[in-house]
Structure 1
Amino acid sequence: MNSAFDAATIRARAEVAMSVALEVGRETARFRRDSDPGTLTVENKGLQDFVTIADRKAEQAIHEGLLSRFPDDSFMGEESGGRSGKGGTWVVDPIDGTTNYIRGFRHWGVSIAFVVGGKVEIGVVYDAAGDKIFHAVRGGGAFKEGIPVHAAATVDPANALVILGHSRKTSFDDHLALSRRLHERGMDYRRMGAAAIDLVRVAEGAADLYYERHLNAWDMLAGALIAEEAGAVVAMPPVDRLLAQGGPVIAYSPGLAGEFAFILDIEGL
């Protein structure tokens, strides 16, 4: 870790990030409840990638909440962009699962990660479905509302529940082939559309696998740390590469490592 960031300074940032995520998450949920969906001013950035007024308001609030306390930190957000800095960098998705949010499907959240020296040191995710905060500080375990969470102890693939993401930047045929392979092993699977929430589902033991072949860094970094600290096996490219170009992520229950090793081979992880 950068010598400027000892345990106390990291913990201070984690506490602020949790408070900001909860406040912004609740305000964003309130905005959705109080708004006519037809007035949310959706701009099409692609077939399944939307920006809303709420996205922009949420990211601005997160930026102000974090940088007002830690003005020397860098900030990288899905909406406003930015670059990682030599010190610490906040990597933020103000609404992960924007399409779900727009449609009123409550599988969305706020994702805040803090990166120092190429490592994710803090992960905070607001889970809108339960109005709960998940968080982790590297080396300190993973928590939901302050209570430790752990990856599932599943060992039988017939009892496994998996979540698969899919980006239109990647092959749908490959996605179908993977779905078929897991189905043939007896696994039940879902596609939910919010990577940060999918990763914390693995962290709390509700799901046994989350895999997506291409994500941006702000979609995955916070949830990946939480899953790892909860005891899940997590694999992804180096953080610096993810910040520059995105990439794959896989997180799974350790008792099913043999079932998912082929995915690691596919990605070269």
Structure 2
Amino acid sequence: MGDGGVLEFGAAALAPRSAPRHVALIMDGNGRWAAARGLPRFEGHRRGVEALRKTVRAAIELGVDYLTVYSFSVENWSRPPEEVQSLLALLHRFIRNDIGELRSNNVRVRVIGDRIDLSDDIAALLREAEETTAANTGLTLIVAFNYGARQEIAAAARALAEEVAAGRLRPGDIDADAISARLDTAGIPDPDLIIRTSGEQRLSNFMLWQAAYAELLFVPVHWPDFDRADFEAAIDDYAHRDRRFGGLAPVGRRAKTAS
């Protein structure tokens, strides 16, 4: 921490006291990183994949159980066609080139997002990543692809409505657990920490339901420059926060804080 209490990203971080079980990443700033260097946007995305590799390795070593990455949102389809094709090509390359390392490091891949309208090759690639690593028991890498939180919640609501209409469910049985069980992340614990890079301070339609009690951290580093030191600094920041989930802190901690 700096003298003014600002987290120093890019500097050596303190050894984290305890890792969050689930970290989610909004990997923002690839285009701005490239523009600042006079490079094409594709180069920013390519360097972003390298940053992702480093972060996955760091998450394994730091004891994180679940790492969710916002790889492609439903809104990303509105970008120029050549950029969309570049992003899809990078996804293809990442899975093809890295699946062996993920498998050998006991990483399980799980994909969330709408697959109904995906091309056959992309859908097959995502299935392959999941099936190839299905038996792994270490870090779960959750890839949010063609994902939007509002769309996810709407789909869960439709599923519940269909069950009520079919007589399999009563309206009074619908509660938070019933909705959670019909989200893409069913069976996955909610994120403890959500990190967004590049300095933007919004969730951009990412895990809106699951973020209810997540700690949010917005860092000024563009994603291609995000490294292990930044990740450790984020986890250390998380470790120093009081997570009360709407309740009160333990008496000892309240007294210490008051002093």
Q: Same fold (TM over 0.5)?
A: no
In which range does the TM-score fall when normalised by the shorter chain?
A: under 0.3
Per residue, is there more helix in 1 or in 2?
2
Larger Rg: 2
Q: What TM-score results when the alignment is normalised by the length of structure 2?
A: 0.27
Q: What TM-score results when the alignment is normalised by the length of structure 1?
A: 0.27
